[in-house]
Amino acid sequence: MNYSQKPDQKHQAAAIPPGVLYPQHGAPPPLNNNGGSPPQQGLTPTGLLQQGSESDDMILYRSGRFSVHTANRPDQRRNPLRKRSGNTSIFGASFISQVRWVTAEKQRITEAETRLLPGIESINPVLAKAIPFPLILEALVVLIGLVIAMAAHALNMFSYPLYGQDEGNLMSNAWAILHGMLQPYPYIYEQPPLGWIQIAAWVQLSGGFFTFGNALNSGRVLMLLFAAASSLLVYLIANRLSGSRSTGLLALIIFSLSPLSIIYQRQVLLDNIGTFWLLLSLYLLVAGDSRLRNTVFAAVALAIAILSRESFILFLPALLYAVWLHSTTFQRKFALVVFAYITLSLASFFVLLALLKGELLPTGMLPGDNHVHPSLLSTLLAQITQPAQDANLSLSWATWTSIDSPFMYASMAALVINLVMGWKNRLQWILAFLAISYWLFLLHGGTVYPFYIVPLLPLMALNIAVALNAPLKWLTKLKGFDLARALLLFMIIGALVPYNLQFAAPSFSLHPVTAQTNALFWIRDNVPHNAVVITDSTFYTDLHQAGGEGVANGATYPNAHIYWNVALDPQVHGSLLHENWDAIDYIVVDARMLREIKTLDGSMLLLNRALHHAILRVEFRSDNGGQSEVIQVYQVIHTTSTT
């Protein structure tokens, strides 16, 4: 059968009666909506028999400039298109079977060529019987919870806990950023710099280092903001994963009012900065409704967390599982690749920085590299292999349980519950895997300081709240807005608030930083500004930045140095001090610094000699809950000869 257009035959075609064209079966049925469009009005199917020896053909259909005709082949029987059926009626069985065939063929083609989109179900479908809960009322309840939590964090936060060396290091690094350096001393790649870059940005936005008193107070205000944002994210994540607002509020209270949170979230720590970005990444995933842009933003947030504190890369596998759960089947592979690629490519800026500075590999590993320089690889290996001395998991666990033992033991039980219940609700596995990822890091046997618990605090609070929500749902056996479950959770919240505040009472009444601030004032009033002063990092920024508590309106102390850098940095003990203890004028020590100078003879030899030739000028004490914090100021007695 041929399909062709024959405009020259348009006026030659003569209508042939159906009986002539189809003598056995009659005319073919007209096409309808089930099988196609009928001929245009005024154009009826016609047949035309053309005579010829070998090219005779018959027009089966013609409409306008289109015609369908048969080709005459010598060995083919004339009119073989239909078989004899004995029924020539248009309403006969042949017509009915043809209609059925057309309908079935249309259905087959529809099924074969139609692509069904994958069914997308909401992560938290709204139950039909749920009682409407006004958004403004929810916001008011959450706001009250946040105000209570942040009031507990803010009360006495400039006096407790004691200013730590890590706080001083970060604030001095932020000072260096604002002076065009990565650190006050050569950058040795202990941490990525993005954490203190954020602190430096906050200093600029808040009006300087001393808007809230000394430099460390300014950093603690920033930590308060991060704590508030993290608490809100904990509520939103718990609400999303459990489908219960009361569970979200419970998680917020457990997290923000734990004595552990009140103590460690006040301190200027990279862990507090990274925790906020980690929670933001998790929230974008669980609330993203399978949107790819949320996956991209979540990857960026996790990369910022890693560039703030490199240990947060441990959460990548657990968050990849969250991506897998919160993406549809047809986009799952792409979402996983996008999340992993964006996270790792942005986090690799830390490695790229070392590579561009020629400090990726240790000195001497490359030809011609004979200049002594810090190395990212050397620092990383030192951190991994560093033996645990006065900071290990056992000692830190004792510290954590002494501060808030119910929280620690409840989190362990909740972790087991979520691992078991995860077989039924995979969302519970996300929280369990996140917590397990970090616990494995703490269990590796290296150095574990007590503040290492910070990233686990929101994760353990989420695990507790979600694990507690599951049995309460079973007990009530109600759908929609479960009033009984909400009342039970609010009763737990009502018991937790006074309990936690009672255990956190020392955080609201003690003032251990008094000794540190008094020592800073004494230096300002009694030490010459050109003197070489050796201190710990807590005093560095206030002695180097104009307007600090150690300077006031006077000149700064450009020769004030951090004792660890004096011990380990060749540029300080070699170029500046010339390996001469007599070049040191004053040493300001606390109990930890004094112990390290006396026990670490190799690296602290220069300071130890200076301390042996020094006299105690003044001593300051403060109460720190059963123990006394002591700050001593020694003046080195110079001799005419050098040792």
Q: Is 2 helix (H, G, I), strand (E, B) or coil?
A: strand
Q: How far apart are CA 484 and CA 477, in angstroms?
A: 10
pLDDT digits (tens, 9 = 90+) for 493-548: 888 888 888 888 889 999 999 999 999 999 999 999 999 999 999 999 999 998 88
What pTM was estimated for this model as a whole? 0.79
**Between 390 and 156, residue with greater pLDDT:** 156
Average pLDDT, the chain: 83
| Tally of structural domains, the chain | 3
Most confident range, picked from 58-67, 98-107, 355-364: 355-364
Domain boundary among 90, 112, 134: 112
Spacing of C-alpha 322 from chain mean position:
11
Domain boundary among 75, 91, 112: 112
Calculate the alpha carbon distances from 384 to 227, 380, 551 in Å: 29, 6, 39
In the chain, % of residues over pLDDT 90:
57
The answer as to whether 318 is a domain residue is no
Q: How far apart are CA 219 and CA 212, in angstroms?
A: 9
Q: Is the pLDDT of residue 126 over 60?
A: no
Residue 95 structural domain: 2-112
The answer as to whether 643 is a domain residue is no
In the chain, % of residues over pLDDT 70:
78
Q: Is the pLDDT of residue 7 over 50?
A: no
pLDDT digits (tens, 9 = 90+) for 281-303: 999 999 977 889 999 999 999 99
Mean pLDDT of 44-73: 54
The answer as to whether 613 is a domain residue is yes
pLDDT digits (tens, 9 = 90+) for 223-240: 999 999 999 999 999 999
DSSP secondary structure code for residue 58 in this structure? B
pLDDT digits (tens, 9 = 90+) for 613-625: 999 999 999 998 8
The answer as to whether 455 is a domain residue is no
Q: How far apart are CA 200 and CA 184, in angstroms?
A: 13
Q: Which pLDDT belongs to residue 2?
A: 45
> Which has the minimum average pLDDT: 120-129, 313-322, 554-563?
120-129
The answer as to whether 504 is a domain residue is no
Domain boundary among 112, 137, 172: 112
Element (H, E) at 4: strand 2-4
The answer as to whether 575 is a domain residue is yes
Calculate the alpha carbon distances from 301 to 278, 284, 294 in Å: 7, 9, 10
DSSP secondary structure code for residue 359 in this structure? -
Mean pLDDT of 570-587: 92
> Which has the minimum average pLDDT: 82-86, 315-319, 442-446?
82-86
The answer as to whether 378 is a domain residue is yes
Answer whether 539's CB lies under 8 Å from 550's CB.
Answer: yes
Q: Is 478 helix (H, G, I), strand (E, B) or coil?
A: coil
The answer as to whether 336 is a domain residue is no
